[in-house]
Structure 1
Amino acid sequence: MSTLAAVPPFASPAGAETPSMKHQWLPFTPNREFKSDPKLFARAQGQYFYDPAGRAILDAGSGLFTTPAGHGRREIADAVHAQLLELDFTPSFLRAHPKSFELADRLAALLPAHIDKLFFVSSGSEAVDTAMKICLAYQRAKGAPGRTMFVSRERAYHGVNFGGVALSGMVNNRRAYGNVVHGVVHMRDTWMEENRFASGQPQFGRERADDLLRLIQLHGAENIAACVVEPVAGSTGVLVPPVGYLERLREICTANGILLVFDEVICGFGRTGEPFAAQSFGVKPDLITMAKAITNGAVPMAAVAVADHVHDAIVNGAPDGAIEFFHGYTWSAHPVSCAAALAALDIYRDERLFERARELSGYFLEQVATLRELPTVTDIRGFGMIAGIDVKADGAPGQRGYDLQKKLFDNGLHLKTTGDCAILAPQFVFTREHVDATVRILRDTIASL
């Protein structure tokens, strides 16, 4: 019997009360339309979500880039349960607990050398805002308090706190709130017509990194604190960096005293074949943000990894007894989150999931590329275990992508859409059979549009 044919059915417990849906306000959702035709997950196990009727829905989005080890991992649940009974909460202000230091050690071993100081937070948005503050604190410690500007990119996504929204370059994320935080300027994105249907890293576009040089010439390097980019721009539709692009950004930042921040909230933890995309592309930033897969999505957690020279400038430059970095959250290094993250890291190591992802990525990208023959598909991009499939707009921008996402749910496949792009981020526990099922459902659904 095939693996997919053996998917066990799940159903909601008998007599379970149906909620009213009157009171919750859903994020990033057209709430009125959703409540007229709700798409609900009731359970999850392994590679599948299940709706309340027990119908299996293949998770080709790893939740929301969060759950590469599959759903319902007993190891993480047991670690969380034990931690709640041992130490359910402790503040991290003037106090700490052993697991937070253990987790920092474990993450430091995965990160590029000398980017090994960890500041814990609870979400990717918090990680980005924290990284911005660290950049400003560093520049002040180095005697450059005038360096307050940030450079980001068009079509970037860096979370929904005010700092991250200011960095973001996706118009709908910026319309209402993007100008509250000033002093952020944007380079062009890296999508180019010449690279349509490119396989892996595009050959054209390295020169777009020189947009950073142009902005330096316009605003003055002495006013710029940091350049913040996603190594692979994820939520916008998977924009893979052209060959030489990230290397050129590093060169320009180094020459001009500007910190380089990699936002790896999506790319981190094996998505590009290495623990972090910085290692996949061989480019070392000064800070790395991470979240999502740090706990396999089981418990909210995030972190900022900071290079030694940045950390030391801030900490060693402060007076004795002073708080060196005046920042933090109630939930920073929450004991339960640390326990979940440690259990997730054990799974990634023991099951060789980063290696398995790297081994499966070639087959995954080859199969996704076969969808280019569909007349509705206008571009496909991918790297490692993430891919974006653009479909031809029909009516208002994004409407066809939204309709596609709903039809995919009905046809048994979960993924994320942004505008008219379907974004695939398979779990690392997928087999070739799961990849085949994903592409088959995609092909049939896109063809029916």
Structure 2
Amino acid sequence: MTLTDPAISTTTGAVLDGPALWSAQAHMPSVLGRQLVIERGEGSYLTTADGQRLFDGTAGLWHANIGHSHPELARAAHEQMLRLETYHVFGRYANDQALELGERLAALAPMERAKVILNSGGSDAIDVACKLARRHWQREGRGSKQIILSREHAYHGLHAYGTSIAGLDFNREGYGTESLVPETARVSADDIAQVEQTIARLGADSIAAIVAEPIQGTGGVNPPADGYLEGLQRLAREHDILLILDEVITGFGRTGEMFAAQRYGIEPDMVTFAKGVTSGYAPLGGVLVAHRLWEPFYVDSPDTPVFRHGATYAGHATAAAVALANLDVLERDGLVPRVRELEQVLRAQLDGLQQRQEAVVDVRVAGFLGGVSLDERLVNERVADRAVELGFITRPLRGNTLQLSPPFIVSDQEVVNYVAAIEQAIAEESQR
């Protein structure tokens, strides 16, 4: 290898030092010296190490649905750890909290007679769901069905499968191959006719599943085009392709229903979930599996195959106890119906923004999720930084978009104040 080999990295800049923690999804030279160290949280607000109070307008990474530092969830974790921190769920072993959570989730699932696979987060869940899709067709004797389709602008975590099916090219680049798992392909994010053309080009006999976020999150807060999800379901059924809904963001109330599948009338073969199942109080995710997929693995026969899934912390007892407490809070406090009210408040506040601010090119609302897209004159990162200075967190996303997804516990007035602060940040940056 020579010094001109592109695999060798050279730099003329000084190597920067800083904290030992290598931050996630960060261009490190841009964040060193600017990091906001969050020290405390209470309800919908955070406090930094230097004492700044911030409105958590993104609910962390879309997860703090019931707000921060809820005493009931803290007690649930404390009491469970005093009884049993965890025990694995491999083979004939299980723990009581994982079993109880499985029953609770199956009862909430947007498909009948669901089984529940538990793991540690959304990226885990995507890996398991894609592997099960391929395992299903292998077991059916249709081993040519291997390709996993996903949408342009999609984000499905950063494990090997999530990286491979990402519709955001920058998440797939730099690993020496177009796709870490080779049998993947992208389809149109909003044009069902183009999806149909892709299926015809690849051949339905080569396609195992299509994975879709009901509302794209990291890709820019993109609600589904009219008829798009219904079209995916129709094509999946017509061509014997499994439909996997990635509800890591939308699951557990973010759309005003427990799952977005219920809002949009979709009956998927699998649903991946995480984030909102514990409101971020413990790392937990999983897959809801329809009966046609799990039944062959439950046949009482020595010839029944094993689906090789599982990780050390799958079904973690403390995480499951926290999830159960979180579901109690969601249901007791009526937070899912409250989301429907908050959606209308957010929509009302964003409706006139495009008319008032010339730099706003589009606004999108679906459930308690909002996206504000800016024209090229502004940089969304700078607008987000200015919002922080004003005491409000928003997050820059693809498409020069700002993310709005506060906790479910906020008041109407807090939504009004939040949008007003974002508008002020946009107006000030427009005048620079």
TM-score w.r.t. length of structure 1:
0.88
Query: CA–CA distance in 2 between the matches of 1:140 and 1:264?
Result: 26
Equivalent residue for 2:271, pick from 288, 293, 300:
288
Query: CA–CA distance in 2 between the matches of 1:307 and 1:215?
Result: 26
Corresponding pairs, count: 408
Q: Does 1:426 align with 2:406?
A: yes
In structure 2, the residue matched to 1:109 is: 107
In structure 2, the residue matched to 1:65 is: 62
Instruction: List aligned pairs for 1:273-422, cutoff 5 A.
Output: 273-316=256-299, 320=302, 324-372=306-354, 373-394=356-377, 400-419=379-398, 420-422=400-402
- More displaced, 31-40 or 220-229? 31-40
Cα distance, 1:179 vs. partner? 1.7
In structure 2, the residue matched to 1:229 is: 212
Instruction: List aligned pairs for 1:181-220, cutoff 5 A.
Output: 181-190=181-190, 208-220=191-203
Cα distance, 1:321 vs. partner? 7.7
Query: CA–CA distance in 2 between the matches of 1:234 and 1:209?
Result: 19
TM-aligned CA distance change 1:355 to 1:60, over 3 Å: same
Instruction: List aligned pairs for 1:62-211, cutoff 5 A.
Output: 62-94=59-91, 95-114=93-112, 116-177=114-175, 178-190=178-190, 208-211=191-194
In structure 1, the residue matched to 2:415 is: 435
Secondary structure at 1:261 match in 2: strand
Are the counterparts in 1 of residues 188 and 195 from structure 2 also a CA contact under 8 Å? no
Map Cα deviations across residues 152-211 of structure 1 (whole Å, 9 max, x no partner): 111000110111111111121121245221111111122xxxxxxxxxxxxxxxxx1232
CA RMSD in angstroms, aligned pairs only: 1.6
Secondary structure at 1:88 match in 2: coil
Cα distance, 1:359 vs. partner? 1.8
Secondary structure at 2:379 match in 1: helix
TM-score w.r.t. length of structure 2:
0.91
- Give the aligned residue type for 2:418: T
Secondary structure at 2:219 match in 1: coil
- Give the aligned residue type for 2:390: N
Instruction: List aligned pairs for 1:248-259, cutoff 5 A.
Output: 248-259=231-242
User: Where does the alignment leave 5 or more consecutive residues of structure 1 unmatched?
Assistant: 1-19, 191-207
Are the counterparts in 2 of residues 41 and 50 from structure 1 also a CA contact under 8 Å? yes
Instruction: List aligned pairs for 1:24-63, cutoff 5 A.
Output: 24-63=21-60
- More displaced, 223-232 or 106-115? 106-115
Query: CA–CA distance in 2 between the matches of 1:84 and 1:403?
Result: 43
Instruction: List aligned pairs for 1:260-271, cutoff 5 A.
Output: 260-271=243-254
Cα distance, 1:249 vs. partner? 0.9
- Give the aligned residue type for 1:210: A
Secondary structure at 2:32 match in 1: helix
Cα distance, 1:98 vs. partner? 1.0
Cα distance, 1:55 vs. partner? 2.3
- More displaced, 285-294 or 358-367? 358-367
Are the counterparts in 2 of residues 115 and 286 from structure 1 also a CA contact under 8 Å? no
Query: CA–CA distance in 1 between the matches of 2:195 and 2:129?
Result: 19
Query: CA–CA distance in 1 between the matches of 2:187 and 2:214?
Result: 14
Secondary structure at 1:165 match in 2: helix
